[in-house]
Amino acid sequence: MKLPPDFSFSQNNLQDFLECPRRFELRYLLRQPWPAIQSQPVVEHEQHLRRGEIFHQMVQQHQIGLPVDKIGAQAYDQTLLGWWEDYLGSMPQPLPEHRLVEHTLQSAHSGYRFIAKFDLIAIQPGEKMIIVDWKTSRRKPPRAILSQRIQTRLYPFLLWKCSGAFDQAISYSPEQIEMIYWFTADPLSPERFKYSQKQAERDGEYLLELVQQVEHHTQTYFPLTSQEQRCSLCVYRSLCNRGITAGNIDDEIDEEVDDDRLDIAFDQIGETEF
């Protein structure tokens, strides 16, 4: 099965491919409906995802300058209110005043299309560009794991590739880019990743190699993951004969609202193509 001609590679579909090529095929190529719940208990899982969605909306509203008291009124329970108060008290500072909120970037790299939706890009023209991503996962992953996530490699790379679109008179180097993860699970300890020319070169090669692996599998087959412990938290597990019982919500690494899963209407949000 060939990739659609307009297929875009994102952090979500590439992370899925890394974790299980078969899941990538089922989800993005075959568009297979989800036959199973992801984890137990279902209500708690859904509530957590809903809180994460509302929290991101609240932060977005704050970053574009809406009144704090009106935004806070959306916190419908103590957990969400606690996240909001932690955010107000410990958001990354200082950030440049020029900010792009919920902004999408897309660019071609070696003939392949890459796309990413950024929670926040803060720009000091000619000096620095800072990516901030708000995370509502139940636990903060170790830095070593975060550093290898597709998001950590794709987002600064794509921002660097697209940086000329913001002001063609300014040329940004990778060293002027930083990515910050802020966690509701550990608001006082955000993780910061400084970018560099060497890392950008590595990431460009890595992303190209990864999408070429995807293309190779379209000509052969998409294998199941060898790490079967992941299958208990996969909605396709019954299709792959990897069990019918959902895993426990406490075993999930990242329960973020998934942008690909929400079918974002990209024409309705800020977007830059380069």
Q: Identify which has the larger pLDDT, 248 or 28.
A: 28
Q: What's the whole-model pTM score?
A: 0.89
Say if strands 112-124 and 128-135 run parallel, antiparallel, or are unpaired: antiparallel
* Span of 39-53, 72-86, 211-225 with lowest mean pLDDT: 39-53
Mean pLDDT of 84-110: 96
Mean pLDDT of 22-48: 78
pLDDT at residue 37 in the model: 53
**Second-level CATH architecture of 8-40+94-273:** Alpha-Beta Complex (3.90)
* Span of 16-20, 144-148, 179-183, 251-255 with lowest mean pLDDT: 251-255
**Start-to-end C-alpha separation, the chain:** 28
Q: Identify which has the larger pLDDT, 40 or 1.
A: 1
pLDDT at residue 269 in the model: 38
- pLDDT bin (cut points 50, 70, 90) of residue 240 is confident
Domain boundaries in the chain? 8-40+94-273
Q: What is the mean pLDDT of the chain?
A: 88
Cα dist from 227 to 19, 20, 224, whole Å: 8, 9, 9
- Rounded Cα distance between 188 and 178, Å, is 18
pLDDT at residue 237 in the model: 85
Cα dist from 134 to 58, 106, 274, whole Å: 11, 20, 25
Residue 119, SS3 per DSSP:
strand
Q: Which residues contact 236 (CB under 8 A, 6 or more apart)?
A: 22, 23, 26, 27, 32, 34, 35, 36
- Rounded Cα distance between 117 and 266, Å, is 9
Question: Which of 47, 162, 148, 147 has the alpha carbon at shortest distance from 103?
Answer: 162
pLDDT of 259 above 90: no
- pLDDT bin (cut points 50, 70, 90) of residue 268 is very low
- pLDDT bin (cut points 50, 70, 90) of residue 271 is low
- pLDDT bin (cut points 50, 70, 90) of residue 267 is very low
| Cβ(196)–Cβ(210) below 8 Å | no
232 alpha-carbon distance from chain centroid:
22
Burial class (CB in 10 A: 0-12, 13-18, 19+), 47: middle
pLDDT in tens, 107-141: 999 999 999 999 999 999 999 999 999 999 999 99
- In one-letter notation, the amino acid at residue 127 is E
